[in-house]
Amino acid sequence: MKPLKIAYLVTRMDEYGGPQIHVRDLSIWLQGQGHQPLVLSGWAGVFSDEVQASGIDYREIPFLGRPIDPIKDVKAFLELRRVLKREQPDLLSCHSSKAGWIGRFAAWSCGIPVVFTAHGWAFTKGIPLLQKILYMGLEKFAGYFCNHVITVSQYDRDLALRYHVVGANKMTAVHNGMPNYPAPLRTKREGPVRLMMVARVAPQKDHERLLRVLWGCLDLDWTLDLVGAGDDLHLRQMVDRMGYTDRVNFMGERGDVGQLLDNCADVFLLVSNWEGFPRSILEAMRSALPVIASDVGGVREAVQDGVTGFVVPAGQDDPLLHALRVLIADRDLQLRMGAAGRAQYDAEFTFLAMASKTFAVYQKVLAHSKTPAICG
């Protein structure tokens, strides 16, 4: 098979998130397979630096940003269209909502096959109603201009089918996957149980609820590390008012999350109000950590309740409190659940499995059409 030129488009490459990691890892893997990846984004940053350091071509698309801005969006579309006509990739792979909309229209206008990967839908459960209606309409419209949609969970595929975003024959669920590292050696240890949550500071992630619920665990021995970008002043003030600043460590955005999970955590937490299929949970499973997570999106496709961790209702304090108290108090349970999570990661969620399935979708699209087909 001749080498393929695959262009990747993501809205931003300057923040730590699932789409950015996905694009970086897939482009590096494709290059290793002898293909020619090209990475495009509206905002350069740490991840664009990493792909360029790996010898991969990178182009910045001016005016491509997350907020809806008709003037800037049209300018971004025109610039992207110029780049695509000049570079002539075999296929465009779009990631994140804004890049997905503009990328699908631009590729269609150039006669370039296009695949959109939805890293969670903006009309999922938990999204405000008006926002949900708006984004559902946009996704339905954009669906007419793509060859195929990849969802990162079966939950998201089912959700898109329920709302008739695209047809079943034009949509494939491919779970996220993580590069395979050896599992850390975990043994019973003395001292406080080290809780860790890796998530940007945003209402979606509901840090406030976690901090409020942990107040009911002050009789147990634990510490909490919060890893993620964002303005955390209100969270610091909340912890100060509740009187346990000595237990909570605000670490900000970090580039060594894998090492932190391996060496500085006993239990992983993700208490979001909505998600797609969180990569952070897979990172925790790879590190042989038990997981407590909200029952949102595709979380149940990764976390086996009572086996690899606990899945609790989003937005409810009592079930979260119960799960925290049970797991903090039982070191043996932490180790058993963590080992079961690592075994599930090895069986289902390696990067090679995800990359191979994704590339198979690219090949299917290219085999069936050289111009975007209407997604029915």
Asked whether residue 331 is assigned to any structural domain, the reply reads: yes
Write the secondary structure of 138-192 as one string of H (helix), E (strand) and C (coil).
HHHHHHHHCCEEEECCHHHHHHHHHCCCCCHHHEEECCCCECCCCCCCCCCCCCC
* Statement to judge: residues 155 and 233 lie in one domain: no
Q: Which domain holds residue 332?
A: 193-348
CATH number, domain at 144? 3.40.50.2000
* Statement to judge: residues 162 and 16 lie in one domain: yes
* Statement to judge: residues 165 and 230 lie in one domain: no
1-40 pLDDT tens trace: 789 999 999 999 987 788 999 999 999 999 999 999 999 9
Asked whether residue 118 is assigned to any structural domain, the reply reads: yes
Asked whether residue 148 is assigned to any structural domain, the reply reads: yes
Residue 122's pLDDT is what?
85
* Statement to judge: residues 169 and 107 lie in one domain: yes
157 vs 39: CA distance, rounded Å: 26
Q: Which two tokens stand for residue 227?
A: 């890893």
For the chain, what percent of residues have pLDDT higher than 70?
98
Question: Which pTM was predicted?
Answer: 0.86
Asked whether residue 184 is assigned to any structural domain, the reply reads: no
275-317 pLDDT tens trace: 889 999 999 999 999 999 999 989 999 999 999 999 999 999 9
How many structural domains does the chain have?
Answer: 2
Neighbours of 211 (CB within 10 A): 18
* Statement to judge: residues 56 and 136 lie in one domain: yes
* Statement to judge: residues 83 and 120 lie in one domain: yes
Band the pLDDT of 163: cuts 50, 70, 90: very high
pLDDT above 60 (res 259): yes
348 vs 250: CA distance, rounded Å: 32
pLDDT above 60 (res 267): yes
- With a CB cutoff of 8 Å and minimum separation 6, the contacts of 233 are none
* Statement to judge: residues 28 and 172 lie in one domain: yes
Residue 68's pLDDT is what?
81
For residues 100-127, give the mean pLDDT: 93
Asked whether residue 188 is assigned to any structural domain, the reply reads: no
Asked whether residue 72 is assigned to any structural domain, the reply reads: yes
* Statement to judge: residues 266 and 363 lie in one domain: no
* Statement to judge: residues 202 and 264 lie in one domain: yes
36-77 pLDDT tens trace: 999 999 989 989 999 999 999 999 999 998 888 899 999 999
Residue 370's pLDDT is what?
53
Query: Which range among 58-62, 96-100, 209-213 shows the weakest confidence by mean pLDDT?
Result: 96-100
* Statement to judge: residues 201 and 265 lie in one domain: yes
Asked whether residue 57 is assigned to any structural domain, the reply reads: yes
For the chain, what percent of residues have pLDDT higher than 90?
81
* Statement to judge: residues 307 and 358 lie in one domain: no
Asked whether residue 300 is assigned to any structural domain, the reply reads: yes
* Statement to judge: residues 216 and 300 lie in one domain: yes
